[in-house]
Amino acid sequence: KGLISGGGRKPWRQKGTGRARAGSTRSPIWRHGGTIFGPQPRDYSYKMPKKAWRAALCLAISDRAKNGKLFIVESLELSEPKTKAAKAALGKLGVEHALIVTSEGDAKFFLAARNLAAHKVLALEGLNVYDVLNYRELVMTSRTAKAIEARFAGEATAQPAGESNE
């Protein structure tokens, strides 16, 4: 009733009219009145803890490595950004449904492979657990693999302020 505009005045006096008591024309039982227990917009979003997210990503990548589905190549260099060339390069690796993680130096390959239907190309910053698990193979360069390793090694050795190794 409070969310509806109008109805600030009492429609008729309390006693003597023979009609029921009424305090507002925007009461839920009146036409154009409020809604009883109406929907209240709420935020159901969830933010996963960073440590759990890191652990899940490490497990997903190690699962691909353990099952022989992690392909680390020396480089993903192409002479020109053509989808046909990217498809041929991935065909030589023998991957059919792969997530390809690129770094800054692989811009031509990123442009060439982003249109492939069976593959997904992600920048290193966009690497996530869902995509790693959603694709059968994981392809990355050795430079990207070292960057991922350094990222996780740096986060694992970092200690909260005030704690020591004593």
Give residue for tokens 């690497």.
Answer: 127
- What is the C-alpha separation between 163 and 166, in angstroms, rounded? 9
Instruction: Note the pLDDT tens digit of each residue in 137-152.
Output: 999 999 999 999 998 8
Residue 157 has pLDDT above 80, yes or no: no
Residues 6+ apart with CB under 8 A from 114: 121
Res 154: pLDDT: 74
Residues 102 and 145 in one domain: yes
Domain with 92, as residue range(s), is 50-157
Instruction: Note the pLDDT tens digit of each residue in 12-70.
Output: 999 999 999 888 888 888 888 888 888 889 999 999 999 999 999 999 999 999 999 99
Res 103: pLDDT: 85
Res 163: pLDDT: 56
- Cβ(138)–Cβ(69) below 8 Å: yes
Query: Taking the CB of residue 65, how many other CB atoms lie within 10 A of it?
Result: 14
Here the tokens at position 18 are 């023979």
Residues 140 and 70 in one domain: yes
- What is the C-alpha separation between 27 and 34, in angstroms, rounded? 6
**Secondary structure of 33-94 as H, E, C letters:** CCCCCCCCCCCCCCCCCHHHHHHHHHHHHHHHHHCCCEEEECCCCCCCCCHHHHHHHHHHHC
Q: How many domains, in total, are found in the chain?
A: 2
Q: Say if 60 falls within a structural domain.
A: yes
CA distances from 124 to 104, 139, 141 (A): 8, 12, 11
Q: Say if 43 falls within a structural domain.
A: no
Residue 66 belongs to domain with CATH number:
3.40.1370.10
b/e code 70-79 from CB counts within 10 Å (16+ = b): bbebeebebe
Residue 155 has pLDDT above 80, yes or no: no
Q: Say if 164 falls within a structural domain.
A: no
Give residue for tokens 């009424």.
Answer: 22
User: Of 155, 154, 151, nearest to 125 (Cα)?
Assistant: 151
Instruction: Note the pLDDT tens digit of each residue in 70-86.
Output: 999 998 888 888 999 99
Res 166: pLDDT: 47
